[in-house]
Chain A
Amino acid sequence: MTRVEQAFAAAEEEGRATFVAYLTAFDPDADRSLALLRAAAEAGADVLEVGVPFSDPTADGPAIQAAMARARAAGATLPRVLDLVARLRAHTSVPCVLFSYANPLLRLGEALAPRLADAGIDAVLALDVSVFDVPAVFGARAAADLAWVGLCGPRTPDARARAIARRARGFVYQIARTGVTGAGGGRDGDLAHRVAVLRAAGPRPVAVGFGVRRREDAAAVAAIADGVVVGSHLVQRAAAAFAAGEDGAEAVAEAVADLRAGLSRPPARSRRA
């Protein structure tokens, strides 16, 4: 079991859904970004998703686009993001999932798997590469040596969803609605059905993300899934704090603590109970 799956199992033991917190690395610079990641972990995030800044984030909405622009202005590159994660490792053993577009990962070539492992990355997700294409794109070694998270869309047909769940390691990330990342918007279609299909297909826990902002959103997702991913909302809270001249750590910690309070569920509703 990977450290990511252990985190899901531990939350399950505690009778709550797993809190997965996304932050864009280097937003707004290396030191403050490190402080935000630490604050999120200390406030109760069970898993950290570390976003790799990219020049052309086509799957992201305005909040994460702006975060990536700030990060790139501060000199973010994938090797520097990996250095940042290595520094984070001195403070916390919380599992880290690297969240990236394909092209920066490609530039590491053969060194991809060892570099990520050395930095203390537990799992990786390439937003624009399906789990089925990972061996062809990143090579057999990187495919085997790294835990590739599976991404599932709101319109993904059941058969493909099952295949994604079987291929995924770490967890399966179910996108709650069509669209780019962003704190707004509802959830599409029969999310409970989608999560049930993924759970039935394999042993990996299923987290749901996109559009989770309020405690009620988190609670609604926690009732049907193993984990809740919160990204743009945290990034926006941090951005508002930067704009007010604060370092953002307090704002992020507060948001994590608040949302996490919505994740408990009665034991009877527990997933594998």
Chain B
Amino acid sequence: MTGPATPPPAAFRTGPFGGRFVAETLVPAVEALAEAFDDAWADPAFQAAYRDLLETYVGRPTPLSTAPRLSDAVGATVLLKREDLAHTGSHKINNCVGQALLARRMGKRRIIAETGAGQHGVATATVCARLGLSCTVYMGAVDVERQRLNVFRMRMLGATVVPVESGTGTLKDAINEALRDWVTNVDDTHYVLGSVMGPDPYPRIVRTLHEVIGREARAQVLATAGRLPDAVVACVGGGSNAMGIFSGFLDDPAVRLYGVEAAGTGLDGGRHAATMARGRVGIFHGMRSLVLQDDDGQIQEAHSISAGLDYPGVGPEHAYLASTGRAEYLHATDDEALAALHEVASLEGIVLALETAHAAARLRDVARVVGPGGIVLLNVSGRGDKDMPQVMAREGEGGGS
């Protein structure tokens, strides 16, 4: 066991953001979900089942790695929280384990999920196989094409993958379709949302289920370095891996928190997914948060080389942390992420997920802020195997940058 019982979740504050903006048909379902989660989380038997799966199935705790050559290159001590070593290759599974156990406890045998990069879909399909639940994953048709390996994996795990052609054929459209399925089959179906977004209670549930990242990382950095880090860096799509690791340090005001969004081909005149930088407050996918939208309130198409960051919204807690100044949000372009992917691979022998590579791309800037003696903790949210065909297609089979 990883030590004492899990502490109660940290206070969850989202200020004017968040909320529960769903069609009336779904209101009883989200209310029941909130109640069921609070009840489960207070139950030692649920906690034990969740922790047992995290330890014996997911492989937690994930290690903290030093990164000596990368540290020299960027000019500060970089430590890596290795969520890429969790089963299925990303942090996403922490949330899936908890929500699948919750679904089973609620008597729902059918699971649906959306996926962008396919990592959340793979993690959901994996846990459903383990718990004997039926699994349907909605995935934008564009993403099905660029993440074919993960589509194959999900099918091998017994999931039904439904390509979504409507709208822009990406993550937001997959979420639309999952919401439509849920409102139709609400009696027997649980929707395993994959990030800290959507209507309340999802942002709170998903954040709570990822707090294990921050809790472990805090203890590991203290054990390794003898002190807290000066900065924590994570990529932000919906924001779940970032909230997971941030949650361990929210109450340590000296620790700077940096989220990194996808700037695509550039913020000005380019196509991007930089919701924190360019979004405006709106209501989308059940929450009030920052949203990329036009002057008429129509949601805009996001763009990123990384399917997992290709989303025009962001979790409400990030909008709140930005508004209070507790966290800062940076961005990295497609090209910067690719350069970081190569750099970390060649210096540390770790092939990052394209999502994570966006966070790695800003390490030099963060190192400059904390100085040469500083410690920067990077959340390695996932591994890059899934992205290799796409990078290969872009760069040729030589693998050089």
Give A contacts to B, CB under 8 Å. Answer: 54-59, 61, 65, 69, 72, 77-79, 101-107, 127-130, 133, 137, 151-157, 160, 164, 175, 178-180
Contact = CB atoms under 8 A, between A and B. Distances in A.
Contacts, number: 105
Contact of A58 (B19, B179, B296): B179
B284 A104 contact: no
11 contacts: A58-B179, A77-B296, A77-B298, A78-B297, A79-B296, A106-B297, A127-B23, A133-B21, A155-B28, A156-B27, A179-B184
Contact of A103 (B22, B176, B185, B297): B297
Nearest to B291: A103
A134 B29 CA distance: 21
Contact of A129 (B283, B285, B295, B299): B283
A129 B21 contact: yes
A27 to B, nearest CB: 16
A133 B298 CA distance: 21
A106 B299 contact: no
Nearest to A174: B24
Given A58-B179, A178-B183, A178-B184, A103 B24 contact: no
B282 interface: yes
A129 B22 CA distance: 7
Interface residues of B, number: 36
A107 B299 CA distance: 12
B293 interface: yes
Given A137-B283, A178-B183, A179-B184, A130 B27 contact: yes
B186 interface: yes
A20 B377 CA distance: 59
Contacts of A72: 298
Contacts of A127: 23
Nearest to A131: B24
Nearest to B282: A103
B180 interface: yes
Interface in B27-42: 27-29
A104 B296 contact: yes
Contacts of A78: 296-297
A65 to B, nearest CB: 6
Contacts of A106: 282-283, 297
Contacts of B285: 56, 58
A77 to B, nearest CB: 4
Contacts of A152: 24
A133 B23 CA distance: 12
Contact of B180 (A61, A104, A105): A61
Contacts of B179: 58
B396 interface: no
Nearest to B22: A128
B172 interface: yes
A72 B167 CA distance: 11
A59 B21 CA distance: 12
Contacts of B282: 103, 106-107
Interface string B129-147: 0000000000000000000
Interface in B326-369: none
Given A55-B298, A58-B179, A78-B296, A133 B19 contact: yes
Given A55-B167, A65-B166, 20 more contacts: A55-B298, A59-B25, A61-B180, A77-B296, A78-B296, A104-B296, A106-B283, A107-B293, A107-B296, A107-B297, A128-B21, A133-B19, A151-B24, A153-B24, A153-B25, A153-B28, A154-B25, A156-B24, A156-B27, A160-B27
Nearest to A108: B297
Contacts of B296: 77-79, 104, 107
A107 B295 contact: yes
B297 A105 contact: yes
A-B pairs with lowest CB-CB distance, top 8: A153-B25, A104-B297, A107-B297, A103-B297, A179-B184, A77-B296, A153-B24, A102-B283
Nearest to A81: B296
Contacts of A155: 25, 28-29, 186
A153 B283 contact: no
Contacts of A175: 24-25
A180 B283 contact: no
Contacts of B176: 56-58
Given A58-B179, A77-B296, A128-B23, A103 B284 contact: yes
B187 interface: yes
A79 B179 CA distance: 28
Nearest to A179: B184
B341 to A, nearest CB: 31
B398 to A, nearest CB: 40
B158 interface: no
Nearest to B283: A102
A129 B291 CA distance: 17
B187 A178 contact: yes
| Most central of B25, B176, B185, B299 by chain A CB within 10 Å | B25
B286 interface: yes
A112 B26 CA distance: 26
B167 A128 contact: no
A178 B25 contact: yes
B172 A56 contact: yes
A157 B28 contact: yes
A152 B27 CA distance: 10
Nearest to A155: B28
Interface string B263-299: 0000000000000000000111110100101011111
A209 to B, nearest CB: 12
Contacts of B175: 58
B23 A151 contact: yes
Contacts of B295: 107
A256 B182 CA distance: 31
A136 B361 CA distance: 40
